[in-house]
Every structure is written in C-alpha cells, then in structure tokens.
Structure 1
Amino acid sequence: MFLFKKVLGGLLMPLPLTLIVVATCLLFVSKTNIKSYIVLWLTLIGLWFISTPFFANKLMASAESQIRTFDVSKHRKIDKIVVLGCGVHLNTQQIANAQLTGCSSARLTEGLRLAHHYKNAELIVSGHNSARLMKQTAIALGISNNRVRANSTAMDTKDEAKLLAPHLVDRQVALVTSASHMARAKNLFWAQGVDTVAAPTLFYNLHNEPSYKQFIPQAAVLQAVTTHHHEMLGTLWIKLRRTINPEAL
C-alpha cells in the first residue's frame, strides 16, 4: 500500500499528470497527418523520459562525480571566498534572505561555511541583483560588514571574472558556485589569470532516488536537466567565441 500510494502520488503531480492528460487526448486526435501525430508522441515520450531521475542521473552523474566538496583540512589558507550569484525573487516586503532563490541560498551557505572557518578571508558576493541581498544576509548571519565585498555590476559569469580578477590575482581563492556551473566558472576565471579552488554546492544526487521514483517525471528533475543543458550551451558559446577571437572570453 505504501508503494502504491507513493507511485500514485507521484503520477498526480502537475508535470506527470499533465503529460498523462495530453497523451490521453492524443489517443482521440485524428491521425490524418501521421507524421505530425508521430512527432507529437515522440515529443511527449521524450519530455516524460528526460524528466525522470533515471535519465537525469545518466546525464549528470559523470560530471558530478568528478567534483568534490571543499575539504577545509586540505587547504591551510584561503584569502578570498567568491560566491557567484544565482538569482533572486525581488520583494521589498521581505527580508534579504527570503528574496534569494534556493540556488543563491545554497551557494551563500557554502560561502558562509568557509568564511566561518577562514576567519581572515574576505567574502566576495557577486551578481547583478543578488550581491546586495547576499551581503545583507551574510551580515545578518554573523559575518562582519568589513569582511564582505559586494560585486553588483556583473551581469554574468564572464563579467564576474573580469571585474573581480584585479582583487584575486596571486591570492588563494575559493570559488563557490553550483556543481554543474563549476567547470565553466573556473574556466572563465582562469582566462583572467585567476587560479581558483573549487567549492561546489547544489549537487543533485539523483542516483539516491528510490526505485519507484526513477521513471516518474518530476518538475525538479526537469529543472536539473535544464540547468545542465544551460551549462552545455554556455560551454559551447565560450568555445565559439574563442574560436573567433581567442581574447574574447
């Protein structure tokens, strides 16, 4: 009964329920244009499949397995802790931390963990809209104002690397961002002459999903796949720009 309840509950979530309704409707659609009918079915099945933990784990496991969380015992000194922004839900009626997205909160939490361990390290929070809110949150959670630098003008990771490079060259830098974003971020900072130590967070760990959930689509899994796809496109864009102009990024 427990397994039946969990599977049924999973299928009644908005994403799988919508796909089931669409599939049911397709059964009654006229098949006069067989090619379009087949394409619709393939699209529907494809969307179902890429939204499952099984597919997402196959897609992301190899990339995540190559990244380890930051081990403070292996790094005696860190001068700068750079936390890259990841979006906000702006609402002046809310306190700063309530306006951070889950992604921004996860990154800031890792940055604060390191800041509390490396007492003399400067905490640099970055992002066009998120830097100010992350700084306010860091101060509210015990980091002194004079330890926190906010980089609010950067629009993307490329800008963050360029704008922060003068403060980071020849320093021991811990770079905090999502695990899926880490390779691209380190690459862009390296291009600016900044060698960083990876401090990844927000691992998806989808291989730990129970077996009865492996083939049920989930909105959170689709978001994870979308994030991974975004990073693939970002990496291809960097390669394209550097092919045209090696000094571009």
Structure 2
Amino acid sequence: MFELKKILGAMLMPLPLLGILCFIALVIALRTNKLSAYIGIFAISFLLLVSTPFIGQQIIDPSSQLKYTFHSNQQPALDKIVVLGCDVNPNPQLSANSQLGNCAKSRLVEGLRLANIYPNAQLIVSGGGYAKVTNSSLMQQTAISLGVDATRIKQNPAAMDTADEARLLAPTLVDFKVALVTSASHMARASDLFNAQGVDVIPAATDFYDFSAWPTHKQYIPNVEVLKAVTRYWREVLGSAWINVRRWIDPEAL
C-alpha cells in the first residue's frame, strides 16, 4: 500500500501527469492529422523518457564525474579558491543566501568548505546577475555572514558566462595553485576554458546528480529533478560544441 501511494503520488505530479495527457491527446489526434500527431508523440515520448531516473542516469553518467571530486589529502596547500557563478533570484526582502539559487548555494558551500581547510587561501566569488544584484555580491555577503573575513574575499561581478570568468580572472590566477569550484556537469567545459587562458586549475566539483539509489518504483516515473539534470547535461553539450566552432573559426578564441 505504501509503494502504491508513492507511485500514484508521483504520477500525479505535473510533469508525468500532463505528459501522459498530452500523449493521449496526440494519439486521438492521429485520426485527423497524422504527421503532426506523430511528431508530437515522438516529442512528448522523448521528453518523458529522458525525465525518468533510469534513462536520465544513462545520459548524465554520474560515475564519469567522480574524477572531478577534490581530495584535500592530495593537496597540501592552495593559493586561490575560485567559485563560479550560477543561478540567482534577486529579492531585496530576502537575505543574500535566500537570493542564491540551489546551484549557486551548492558551489558556495563547497568553496567555504575548502576555505575552512585552507585558511590562507583567497576566496574568489564570480558571476554577474541582474541589474545591480550580482551572483558574486550575494555569495560574498553570504560568506561574510557565515564567518569568512571580508578582506579574504574577492569579487568578479562583470563576468556573464564561463568564458568571461576565465578571461577576467586569468591574470590574477596564473602561477598560483587554484581550486576551481563549479557543478560536476560543468567542470569539463569550465576547466577547458581556464586552461586555455593559461590557468592550471584543480577541479573541486559539487552539485552532483545520481539517481541510482532511488527506489525501484521511482526509476520509471518522469521526475522534474531528472529533467533538470538532463537539461544541464545538454547545455554543456551545446556549450562545448559552441566553443569548438569558435575555435575552428578562430584558433585564438576562448
């Protein structure tokens, strides 16, 4: 009974429920417009499939991201800890940490963990934002509220994407021992961009996705968290493809 309740509850969530309703509607539409219906059925079927933990797990391949975990026992010292920006939700009525999205919080927590292990390392928080509210300023305010000395933190508020972050920060990072903190799915592209600027970074990934431990009754039900993970994976595929195109056009680009 417990598992049945969980299955029914999961199936009634917006993604699986509306997806199934769309699928049924498209099957009915086959009577009048077969081509459009077939395209719709393929699209909605693909969306639902990649949103299931079982399929999503095969796409994102969490085990391949484990090489980006940071091992402090292998790094006796660090000079710089760079935390890349992510999502922000500006709202002046909220505290700084509440304006950071989950991705940004996850990255900042890892940065603060490393800052605690390496008390002499400079903490660099990066990322632009909206209007006058930047990811870097919110991260700095949050870090200070959690006990980090303000003089130890440097902002990089002008960067609007990872290429900007690498380009703007490179002059202050070259020849230093640098830990790069970003999401596990983003680490390969981010490291590549920093390496291209002459900065040899040590990966310190966070924000991992792994659905292998989810119970069996959830493995085949579409879930928005899985869709989010697959979306991030796809964004990295597109981002890497764009970098390759830019470099093909101009070898000096990025």
After TM superposition, the score normalised by the length of structure 2 is: 0.95
Please state whether the residue corresponding to 2:67 is helix, strand or coil: coil
**Shift, 1:24, TM fit:** 2.8
Alignment of 1:149-228 (within 5 A): 149-228=154-233
Runs (4+) off by over 4 Å = none
- Structure 2 residue matching 1:28: 3-state secondary structure: helix
Q: CA 1:58–1:30 in 2, change beyond 3 Å: closer, same or farther?
A: closer
Q: Residues 1-249 of structure 1 correspond to what in structure 2 (within 5 A)?
A: 1-29=1-29, 31-61=31-61, 64-128=64-128, 129-249=134-254
Per mean C-alpha deviation after superposition, the further-off stretch among 66-75 and 93-102 is 66-75
Distance in structure 2 (CA, Å) of the matches to 1:185 and 1:69: 14
> Between the two proteins, what is the percent identity of the paired residues?
51
Rounded to whole Å, the distance in 1 between the matches of 2:245 and 2:68 is: 29
Checking the alignment, whether the CA contact within 8 Å between 1:124 and 1:151 is kept in structure 2 is: yes
Structure 2: gaps of 5 or more residues: 129-133
Amino acid corresponding to residue 169 of structure 1 in structure 2: V
Aligned length, in residue pairs = 249
Displacement, 1:43? Answer: 1.4
Distance 1:65 1:195 in 2: 19
Instruction: Say if 1:80 and 1:124, in contact at 8 Å, map to a contact too.
Output: yes
Deviations 1:197-219 (A, max 9, x none): 00000100122221111110011
TM-score computed with the length of structure 1 as normaliser: 0.97
AA of the residue aligned to 1:17:
L
Shift of 1:22: 1.6
Q: Aligned partners of 2:27, 2:56: CA distance in 1, in Å?
A: 28
Cα deviation code 1:112-134 (max 9, x no counterpart): 00001100000000000200000
**2:54 corresponds to which letter in structure 1?**
F
Structure 1 vs Structure 2 CA RMSD: 1.2
* Separation of aligned partners in 2, 1:116 and 1:179: 21
Where does the alignment leave 5 or more consecutive residues of structure 1 unmatched? none
CA distance in 1, matches of 2:42, 2:195: 42
